[in-house]
Structures are given as C-alpha cells and as structure tokens.
Amino acid sequence: MNIVPHTEPASGDEALPAILMRIVSELHDVAYLIERIEPQLIELGGPSIFEAPESMKVMQGIDLAVQKTRGIAEFIDTITGGIPDGWMVDVTTALSLVKLAEMQKALAGGLRHGHSQPLGKAAGDFDFF
C-alpha cells in the first residue's frame, strides 16, 4: 500500500481519510459481533457459568476484545481527523487480500446497510464458505 500526497489521483487511488473511516465502521461491526457472543454463552451455560473460574476468564476475554476493538476504532477515527484529504492510497492489492466478500465490498466503498450478521437471521440459517 502506497501513500502518495498529490492532488491528481491515479486510477484506483482514494482519499486515505475515507478509507480509514470505512475501517472504523468495520471495527465497530466486529465489536458488535463479539458482544453478541456473551449473552448466547450465558443462555447456553445458565447462571452457573459465572461460578467456574475458566468461564469467567472467557467472559472477561470477550469483554476485553470488545473494548480493544472499539478502542482501536476510536483511535483511528481520531487520528483520521488530522490527515489531509489530499493523501491518496491505492487499496487494490490490500482489498484483494480480504477474503470476506461483504467486508471487501464495505472497505472498497460499496454501500452496505447494517451489520454483517443481522440479528433477524432465523435459527439454523448459515452461509457456505
């Protein structure tokens, strides 16, 4: 990935702040998906899940993962405000390495509404990959 501070964008170049804000959005989505795990584990394990030390460590790990993901998102969001719009990046190679089609679309600037795994999916629905 090359950062090129120039005013005439080459084909495939995009403003770095716009790209970073799409990454921020994806990180918030990841935090949301991780956060959804905790209530499911409590439902499966029942209230006694909090009695086992190893289970508590897992629950604390889930909480830490959410906090770290949101922290990274906020960090990127904050530093993005100081990056000139004229800084252009060609993300073609980076996008080709993203294996999830929906994430690749979102990072490429394609419009995606809502989270990558909406709550409304019916039990038993799954995606082949």
Reading the block at residue 127, the tokens are 């995606």
112 inside domain: no
96 to each of 3, 28, 45, 83, how far by Cα in Å?
18, 22, 40, 25
At residue 113 the predicted structure's pLDDT band, cuts being 50, 70 and 90, is low
116 inside domain: no
62 inside domain: yes
**Structural domain that includes position 89:** 12-107
Q: What is the pLDDT of residue 122?
A: 45
Which pLDDT tens digit goes with each residue over 48-102?
Answer: 888 889 988 999 999 999 999 999 999 999 999 999 989 999 999 999 999 999 9
The whole-angstrom separation of Cα 20 and Cα 18 is 5
117 inside domain: no
Among 35, 24, 9, 31, CA closest to 107: 24
Check if the beta carbon of residue 94 is closer than 8 Å to that of residue 12: no
- Sign (positive/negative) of CA torsion 69, 72, 74, 77? negative
118 inside domain: no
Determine how β-strand 13-15 pairs with β-strand 3-5.
Answer: unpaired
Number of domains in the chain: 1
* pLDDT above 70 for 124: no
* pLDDT above 70 for 115: no
114 inside domain: no
119 inside domain: no
The whole-angstrom separation of Cα 104 and Cα 99 is 7
71 inside domain: yes
Task: Estimate to the nearest angstrom the gap between the alpha carbon of 38 and the chain centroid.
Answer: 18
* pLDDT above 50 for 129: no
The whole-angstrom separation of Cα 118 and Cα 35 is 13
